[in-house]
Amino acid sequence: MSRSQNEKKPLALVVFLENIGHIHGLRLPKLAMNVIDFVTEEYAKLLLRLFGAYQRYNRVIILEDEDANGPALVQALTGASRTHQVDILLLVHGNQGCLVGHQGKQMVGAETFAPLISAYQQDPALLDLRMVYGLNCYGLSLAQTWIALGAQAVNGAVGVNWLPEPSLSVFLYQWLHGRPYSQAVRSSNQRANQVCRRILKPDVQGKDHAWLQSSRQVIFGTRDVTINS
């Protein structure tokens, strides 16, 4: 398929959404985890509606609860790619080389991505990915995986991502209002750092708090993109 044909395809957004109610480093009662899980997921869906995702995308696919797993993700990406150019939001926890899916029990890593990469290498028409934006911890460890799957622009936290907000809201607002991907990612990380520096003081050497360093976002890709390009 030629690039001109690709650019004429409508846009789809695949949202991989699973909070599981977990806060890194804390052991919480099950009830508290259930409340956090519900509130954070509904908040993310509200942001998508408030900032106009359903107006900017021809199709929005949300994988949550029991659908937040590897096979469902593969099916959503390959199915949507047949008719759409696909953007991805990873609103999940993560670990080295994997995403944390349903209830924290569904790990989405090499067992999912390796066969998908192999299939894509054999048939490049299988996937039509554009940008991947993730709040997952250790997102940097999956950046090259997304590039290998054809994504044009990808971000990733270097370690544990302590700053899901205001990162998500700033990114979504800027991205859905036409800002370049790289600018939206940098602005969201900078804004989150500004807010957290009011609370998290630098160390004795003047370096940012370890949480900010761990949450630093790195951008990869073959080209910058906007919602319109």
For 174-213, how does the pLDDT look when each residue is reduced to its tens digit (9 = 90+)? 999 999 999 999 999 999 999 989 888 877 677 889 989 9
Q: Please state the rounded mean pLDDT for residues 42-49.
A: 92
Q: What is the pLDDT of residue 13?
A: 98
Residue 118 has pLDDT above 70, yes or no: yes
State how far the Cα of 144 lies from the Cα of 169, in Å rounded to an integer. 25
Least confident of 4-13, 91-100, 120-129, 201-210: 4-13
For 94-115, how does the pLDDT look when each residue is reduced to its tens digit (9 = 90+)? 999 999 998 888 899 999 999 9
Q: What is the pLDDT of residue 41?
A: 82
Q: What is the pLDDT of residue 31?
A: 45
Residue 30 has pLDDT above 70, yes or no: no
Contact 54, 128 (CB under 8 A): no
The residues facing 133 across adjacent strands are: 89
Share of the chain above pLDDT 90, in %: 75
- For 62, the token pair is 């949300």
* DSSP assignment of 42-87: HHHHHHHHHTTHHHH-SEEEEEEGGG-SHHHHHHHHHHHHTTSEEE
Could you tell me the residue ranges of all domains in the chain? Answer: 3-158
Residue 161 has pLDDT above 80, yes or no: yes
State how far the Cα of 84 lies from the Cα of 56, in Å rounded to an integer. 13
Residue 33 has pLDDT above 50, yes or no: no
In the chain, where does DSSP find H-type helix?
3-8, 30-50, 53-56, 70-81, 110-122, 143-148, 164-176, 181-197, 210-214
The residues facing 90 across adjacent strands are: 16, 134
Contact 16, 91 (CB under 8 A): yes
Q: What is the pLDDT of residue 3?
A: 45
Contact 63, 15 (CB under 8 A): yes
Q: Which fold has domain 3-158?
A: Rossmann fold (3.40.50)
Return the residue matching tokens 């590897």.
70
